[in-house]
Amino acid sequence: MVSIVIRNLTKRFGTTTALDNVSLRINAGEVFFLLGPSGCGKTTLLRHIAGFYKPDHGQIFFDNKDVTNTPPHRRNTAMMFQSYALWPHMNVARNVAFGLEERKVAPEQIEKEVFKALSTVRMENYGNRKINQLSGGQQQRVALARALVVRPMCLLLDEPLSNLDAKLRHEMRLEIRRICEQFKLTAIYVTHDQKEALSIADRIAVMEAGRVSQVGTPQEIYRAPHTKGVADFIGETNFITCKLSSAGSQESHWIVETDHGQFRGRLADPSWVPREGQSATISIRPEAFTLSTQNPLVNTLAGQISESTYLGEVAQYALKTESGSIIHIAELNPSRLREPGETLHYAAAEPRDVVILRH
């Protein structure tokens, strides 16, 4: 495994800036995710780490060694592509053996290493199968075995599960995490799938327009987004415009004024020093609301349900508030489904779940 440091990386394609002064540190043995919408620069950054692109400016270090100009085959990384990039004219074993053959490994050693790699991904009985005889999930496992067989210091994954159905994606998330822990690999994983990132990552870098907006653990990114962009991209949230009124008893807590009344919330971005009277936005996740028959007195909304959706473990409601706005609320493990037209008197959120963001 290897630690990776990226310093001030910039890349332009014509007039388009794909990476804009990106800096990151990825710890040895970490499963690190690059997350963001299409076109945000995450795949471009991954390809720089692999050595497929050279930056216009900046440096990349593997364990304090500058590899910015080192070609891909000398970086000891392995990459899994979205398309798997398997050769259909070769059987499974030959596909997995390819990297070892390129490294001039002895044939008897190749046979042993291929069997080990296929056993790791639970495909040891499929060596003689043709690629077109495999399911999508099986092809994904073969691609993973091919990446592992060369014993890389770093595993690079570019949207590896996007072609699988929901059940297989869930299964392979667990499998990839298991293998990374077993081999003590540093893994860098590109995706736009938030659940994938939240369920596998040690840490996540959320990217927007070629820049890193925030780096943190899955819980930090979800519960304490620093920007509206991060809050909006990770899960569902309600944005309510507000004005900062005064600081609360705790240093990071503020009282804000909204069209729905007064709310108390917290600042998530440690670099932000707000001032009284400043316009801002609060973010409240739908599941943060608690429905009550008694007035909790703080952070309370009321209104009439305009839409209701039952999903088994959760009921989703669109609440039309007294100010005319629509607020989305999720009720976990509902005993009954509240119908459109029903009045909700008290939907409240704890101050820790009300995140104040720069406007």
Q: How far apart are the first and last CA of the chain?
A: 41
What pLDDT digit, counting tens, does each position of 196-235 carry?
899 889 999 999 999 999 999 999 999 999 999 999 999 8
Residue 6 has pLDDT above 80, yes or no: yes
Using one digit for the tens of pLDDT, what is the confidence trace for 62-80? Answer: 998 999 999 988 888 988 8
Cβ(49)–Cβ(60) below 8 Å? yes
pLDDT in tens, 83-100: 767 888 889 999 999 888
* Strand segments (E) across 63-147: 65-66, 77-80
Q: How far apart are CA 227 and CA 3, in angstroms?
A: 28
Question: Amino acid letter at 206?
Answer: V
Task: Name the band, by pLDDT with cuts 50, 70 and 90, for residue 101.
Answer: confident
- Confidence (pLDDT) at 67: 95
Is 21 within 8 Å of 9 (Cβ atoms)?
yes
Domains of the chain, residue spans? 4-228, 236-358
DSSP state of 70: -
The structure tokens listed for 206 are 């959320």
Mean pLDDT of the region 35-42: 91
The tens digit of pLDDT for each residue in 129-171 reads: 999 888 888 888 888 888 888 888 899 998 877 777 777 778 7
The average confidence (pLDDT) of the chain is: 89
In the chain, what percentage of residues exceed pLDDT 90? 52
What would the CATH number be for the domain defined by 4-228?
3.40.50.300
Note the pLDDT of residue 45. 96
| 117 burial via Cβ count (<10 Å: 0-12, 13-18, 19+) | buried
* pLDDT value, residue 140: 83
Confidence tier at 285 by pLDDT (50, 70, 90): very high
* 236-358 CATH pick, 3.60.110.10, 1.10.1040.10, 2.40.50.140, 3.40.50.10320: 2.40.50.140
Residue 251, pLDDT above cutoff 70: no
Q: Assess whether pLDDT exceeds 90 at residue 359.
A: no
Q: Supply the DSSP symbol for 352.
A: G
Question: Can you give the pLDDT at residue 103?
Answer: 84
Task: Tell me the mean pLDDT in the region 257-278.
Answer: 90
Type of residue found at 10 = T
Any idea what the Cα angle at residue 246 is, between residues 241 and 247, rounded to 5°?
Answer: 110
Residues 6 or more apart in contact with residue 13 via CB below 8 angstroms: none
**247 has a pLDDT exceeding 80:** no
pLDDT of residue 295: 78
Q: What is the structure's pLDDT at 250?
A: 62
The yes-or-no verdict on residue 58 having pLDDT over 90 is: yes
CA 237/CA 208 separation, integer angstroms:
18
State residue 66's pLDDT score: 95
No. of helices (H) and no. of strands (E), the chain: 8, 20
